[in-house]
Structure 1
Amino acid sequence: MKKTITPVFWIAFSISVLFVIWGWTAPQHLIKIMTGLQGDLLNRFGWFYQFSVTFLLIFALILAFSRYGKIKLGKDEDQPEFSTPTWFAMLFSAGMGIGLLFYGVAEPVSHYANPPVGEGHSIESAKIGLRYTYLHWGFHAWAIYGVVALALAYFKFRKDSPGLMSATLYPLLGEKVKGPIGYTIDVIAVLATLFGVAASLGLGSAQINSGFNYLFGIPINFPTQLTIILVTTTVFIISAGTGVSKGIKYLSNTNMILAIVLFFSFLFLGPTQFVLETFLTTFGGYIQNLPSMGLRFAPFNDENNQWVKDWTIFYWAWWISWTPFVGTFIARVSKGRTVREFIMAVLIVPTIVCSLWFGVFGGTGIYYDFVQGMDVTKQSLETSLFFIYEQLPFGGFLTIISLVLIFSFFVTSADSATFVLGMQTTNGGLNPSFLSKLTWGVILSAVAIILTRSGGMQGIQATIIVSALPLAIFLLFMSYSLTKALRNEMKGKKDKVKTETIA
Structure 2
Amino acid sequence: MNYSKRVLILSLLISAIFVLWGTLLPDHLTSITSNIQEFLQKKFGWFYLLSATSFLVFVVIIIFSRYGSIKLGKDDEEPEYSYLSWFAMLFSAGMGIGLVFWGVAEPLSHYAAPPLAEKETPQAAQAALKYSLFHWGLHPWGIYTLIGLGLAYFKFRKNAPGLISAIFTPILGDRVNGPIGRAIDILAIFATVFGVATSLGFGAVQISAGLSFLFGIENNFITQVVIIVVVTVLFTLSALSGLDKGIKYLSNTNVLLAVLLMFFLLFVGPTNFMMNFFTTTLGAYLQELPQLSLRITPFPESELSQWTQSWTIFYWAWWIAWAPFVGTFIARISRGRTVREFIIGVLAVPTLFSALWFAVLGGGGIYSEMFNHAGIVQVMNDKGTEIALFKFLEQYPLAPILITLAILLISSFFITSADSATFVLGMLTTGGRLNPTKSVKLTWGVVQSAAAVVLLASGGLAGLQTASIIAAFPFTFVMIGIGISLYKTLKTDMPKLRHR
Q: TM class by shorter-chain length?
A: over 0.9
1:258 matched to which residue of 2?
Answer: 257
Mapped partners of 1:323, 1:74: distance in 2: 22
2:324 matched to which residue of 1?
Answer: 324
Of 479, 485, 492 in structure 2, the residue corresponding to residue 475 of structure 1 is 479
Q: How do 1:84-483 and structure 2 match up within 5 A?
A: 84-300=83-299, 301-378=301-378, 379=380, 380-453=384-457, 455=459, 458-459=462-463, 461-483=465-487
Task: Kindly provide the CA deviation profile for residues 250-292 of structure 1, in whole angstroms up to 9, marking residues without a partner as x.
Answer: 3223212211221112212221111111111111101110111
Mapped partners of 1:455, 1:38: distance in 2: 18
Question: Residues 425 and 444 of structure 2 are in contact (CA less than 8 Å); yes or no, is this contact kept in structure 1?
Answer: yes
* SS of match in other structure, 2:38: helix
Q: CA deviation at 1:216?
A: 2.2
* Alignment TM-score, normalising by the size of structure 1: 0.94
Task: Kindly provide the CA deviation profile for residues 282-325 of structure 1, in whole angstroms up to 9, marking residues without a partner as x.
Answer: 11101110111111113324332121111111211221122222
Q: Tell me which stretches of 4 or more aligned residues in structure 1 moved more than 6 Å.
A: none
Q: CA deviation at 1:478?
A: 0.5
Mapped partners of 1:4, 1:462: distance in 2: 29
Q: CA deviation at 1:456?
A: 7.3
Mapped partners of 1:457, 1:395: distance in 2: 32
- Give the direction of change, closer, same or farther, for the CA distance of 1:352–1:448 in structure 2 (3 Å limit): same
* SS of match in other structure, 1:253: helix
Mapped partners of 2:247, 2:424: distance in 1: 12
Question: Residues 92 and 353 of structure 1 are in contact (CA less than 8 Å); yes or no, is this contact kept in structure 2?
Answer: no
Question: Residues 205 and 229 of structure 1 are in contact (CA less than 8 Å); yes or no, is this contact kept in structure 2?
Answer: yes
Q: Which amino acid aligns with 1:336?
A: G
Q: CA deviation at 1:476?
A: 0.4
Q: CA deviation at 1:72?
A: 1.6
Task: Kindly provide the CA deviation profile for residues 334-366 of structure 1, in whole angstroms up to 9, marking residues without a partner as x.
Answer: 222221222122111111011111111000100
* SS of match in other structure, 1:142: helix
Mapped partners of 1:93, 1:410: distance in 2: 9
Q: CA deviation at 1:95?
A: 4.4
Mapped partners of 2:333, 2:242: distance in 1: 16
Mapped partners of 2:456, 2:273: distance in 1: 37
Q: Which amino acid aligns with 2:181?
A: G
Question: Residues 98 and 200 of structure 1 are in contact (CA less than 8 Å); yes or no, is this contact kept in structure 2?
Answer: no
* SS of match in other structure, 2:386: coil
Question: Residues 236 and 412 of structure 1 are in contact (CA less than 8 Å); yes or no, is this contact kept in structure 2?
Answer: yes
Q: Which amino acid aligns with 1:367?
A: Y
Mapped partners of 2:2, 2:244: distance in 1: 24
Question: Residues 28 and 454 of structure 1 are in contact (CA less than 8 Å); yes or no, is this contact kept in structure 2?
Answer: no
Task: Kindly provide the CA deviation profile for residues 114-167 of structure 1, in whole angstroms up to 9, marking residues without a partner as x.
Answer: 112222111111111100110111111110111111111100010000110101
Gaps of 5+ in 1: 498-503
Question: Residues 150 and 486 of structure 2 are in contact (CA less than 8 Å); yes or no, is this contact kept in structure 1?
Answer: yes
* SS of match in other structure, 1:328: helix
Which of 303-312 and 161-170 deviates more? Answer: 303-312
Question: Residues 236 and 414 of structure 1 are in contact (CA less than 8 Å); yes or no, is this contact kept in structure 2?
Answer: yes
Mapped partners of 2:110, 2:454: distance in 1: 29
Which of 76-85 and 404-413 deviates more? Answer: 76-85
Q: Which amino acid aligns with 2:429?
A: T
- Aligned pairs, how many? 495
Which of 311-320 and 2-11 deviates more? Answer: 2-11
Question: Residues 277 and 363 of structure 2 are in contact (CA less than 8 Å); yes or no, is this contact kept in structure 1?
Answer: yes
Which of 102-111 and 309-318 deviates more? Answer: 309-318
Q: Which amino acid aligns with 1:356?
A: L
Identity %: 52
Q: CA deviation at 1:58?
A: 0.5
Mapped partners of 1:476, 1:123: distance in 2: 40
Mapped partners of 2:103, 2:55: distance in 1: 25
- Does structure 1 residue 488 correspond to structure 2 residue 489? no
* Alignment TM-score, normalising by the size of structure 2: 0.94
Question: Residues 164 and 428 of structure 1 are in contact (CA less than 8 Å); yes or no, is this contact kept in structure 2?
Answer: yes
- Give the direction of change, closer, same or farther, for the CA distance of 1:227–1:87 in structure 2 (3 Å limit): closer
Which of 85-94 and 356-365 deviates more? Answer: 85-94
2:31 matched to which residue of 1?
Answer: 32
Question: Residues 317 and 464 of structure 1 are in contact (CA less than 8 Å); yes or no, is this contact kept in structure 2?
Answer: no
Mapped partners of 2:97, 2:83: distance in 1: 26
Mapped partners of 2:473, 2:271: distance in 1: 41
Q: Which amino acid aligns with 1:322?
A: W
- Does structure 1 residue 65 correspond to structure 2 residue 69? no
Q: Which amino acid aligns with 1:40?
A: F
Mapped partners of 1:82, 1:39: distance in 2: 42
Question: Residues 98 and 203 of structure 1 are in contact (CA less than 8 Å); yes or no, is this contact kept in structure 2?
Answer: no
- Give the direction of change, closer, same or farther, for the CA distance of 1:135–1:493 in structure 2 (3 Å limit): same
Mapped partners of 2:452, 2:186: distance in 1: 19
* SS of match in other structure, 1:62: helix
* SS of match in other structure, 1:289: helix
Mapped partners of 2:155, 2:443: distance in 1: 26
Mapped partners of 1:4, 1:178: distance in 2: 7
- Give the direction of change, closer, same or farther, for the CA distance of 1:205–1:118 in structure 2 (3 Å limit): same
